[in-house]
Each structure stands twice: as C-alpha cells, then as structure tokens.
Amino acid sequence: MRVIGIDPGSRVCGYGVLEAQNGEIIHLASGCIVPKSTLPLNERLKVIYDGILKVIDRYSPEVMSIEDIFFAKNASSALKLGQARGVVILAGSNSGISVHEYAPTKVKLALTGRGRANKAEVQNMLSRLLGVTQWEKEDASDAVAIAFCHISISQIETKLGKEFVQTRRKRRRFTIDDLPS
C-alpha cells in the first residue's frame, strides 16, 4: 500500500509518501509546497493544488491521509486552512484515490503512544522508525506522520477488524464522591 500524507496549510503544505511492503514501512519522499507569500490566496491555493497533483502523478499513491480540522483561535486563519484542506482533498478525489482524515492527537498516539506528544517527539520517533535523519520542515515530518498513522491503523484493522479499532468516547460519570463536602 502506498500512502501520501498531507499537512495542509495556505503558506506551507507538507507532503510525505510512504509504502508498506511485507510488514515494513518505507519512506519514499517528503517535502513542502511553498507558494510565494506575495501571491493572493486564490493563486496560492492553485499552486498547492498543482503541486499535490504533481506529487500524486509522480508516486501514484493508493490512499491520501490528511490532518483533520482543529479549532484555531483566529477565525481568518481557520478559514484559510479550511480552504487549503479543501483544495488538497479535491486533488486527491480528482486523482481517484480515497481520502482519510485523522485528528492530530490520533496521529501522535499512533506514532508515540501519547496523543499529546510534541513535534520533537514525533520527529524523533519517525527518524527511528524510517531512518530519516533530516526533515525539510516540520510540515514535511508532520505529513509523513499522518501517512504513517494511516498505515498503522490500516494494518491493525486488517488484523483485528474495523469494529475493534473504533474509538469510543468515555463519558465522565459523576458520583456522590465528586461533590465537595
């Protein structure tokens, strides 16, 4: 299985391509698409779209995994990020590959065992697992982490079944012991 991971952004869009073969995960490529900051947003989005299509054409992934949305403090930044995500998802869909979304905490959990790991811990684990010592930018390593997450989850689902992997939210149940005395 060949997977392209995407860390979307309107200023820097990271990508990473991994392949799972015979139980091994191989790093094929990673990098960033960086439109000129002087371009208006619509032109930056076109640069990102065209760049993702080039990566897809070059490496022919079967699956795209992308970072899921998260809540930002700045509404304008969140809208721009959403537009960049939309362009990337459109590029994947137009290329005929399936698109899967993963929350940042799920990606960190799949790699480090902790959903709140920092970027340095994620990069360190990726370097150990894939043998990549230098990353172009954090966005590239984040994209590789997203691809790695998809491969890991897919392998577990294949072995154990999809219903086993489904996450369940645990609701906090309050008891009489929680009330102050």
What does the alpha-carbon distance between residue 53 and residue 43 come to, in Å, rounded to a whole number?
A: 15
Q: Which CATH superfamily is domain 2-166 in?
A: Ribonuclease H-like superfamily/Ribonuclease H (3.30.420.10)
pLDDT by residue (tens digit) across 78-102?
888 889 999 999 999 999 999 999 9
Provide the whole-model pTM. Answer: 0.85
pLDDT by residue (tens digit) across 119-135?
889 999 999 999 888 88
Domain ranges in the chain are 2-166
Mean pLDDT across the chain, nearest whole number? 87
At residue 135, the pLDDT reads: 83
Q: Which of 19, 43, 57, 67 is catalytic?
A: 67
At residue 134, the pLDDT reads: 85
Q: Which of 7, 68, 136, 142 is catalytic?
A: 7
Amino acid making up residue 51: G
Q: Which of 19, 50, 139, 178 is catalytic?
A: 139
Can you state the percent helix, strand and coil of the chain, rounding each to 5?
A: 50, 20, 30
Number of H helices, E strands in the chain: 6, 5
Instruction: Name the residue with higher pLDDT: 114 or 149.
Output: 149
**Is residue 44 predicted with pLDDT exceeding 80?**
yes
Q: What is the mean pLDDT of residues 31-56?
A: 96
Q: What is the mean pLDDT of residues 28-53?
A: 96
Q: How confident is the model at residue 169 (pLDDT cuts 50, 70, 90)?
A: low
β-pair partners for 120: none
Based on the residue annotation, tell me whether 139 is a catalytic residue of this protein: yes
**Is residue 10 predicted with pLDDT exceeding 70?**
yes
* Strands of 98-102's sheet in order across: 24-33, 13-21, 2-7, 63-67, 98-102
Q: Please report how many Cα atoms fall inside a 13 Å half-sphere around the Cα of residue 160, on the Cβ side.
A: 11
At residue 76, the pLDDT reads: 83
Query: DSSP labels for 102-166?
Result: E-HHHHHHHHHS-TT--HHHHHHHHHHHH-----S-HHHHHHHHHHHHHHHHHHHHHHH-HHHH-
Q: How confident is the model at residue 172 (pLDDT cuts 50, 70, 90)?
A: low
Based on the residue annotation, tell me whether 7 is a catalytic residue of this protein: yes
At residue 113, the pLDDT reads: 86
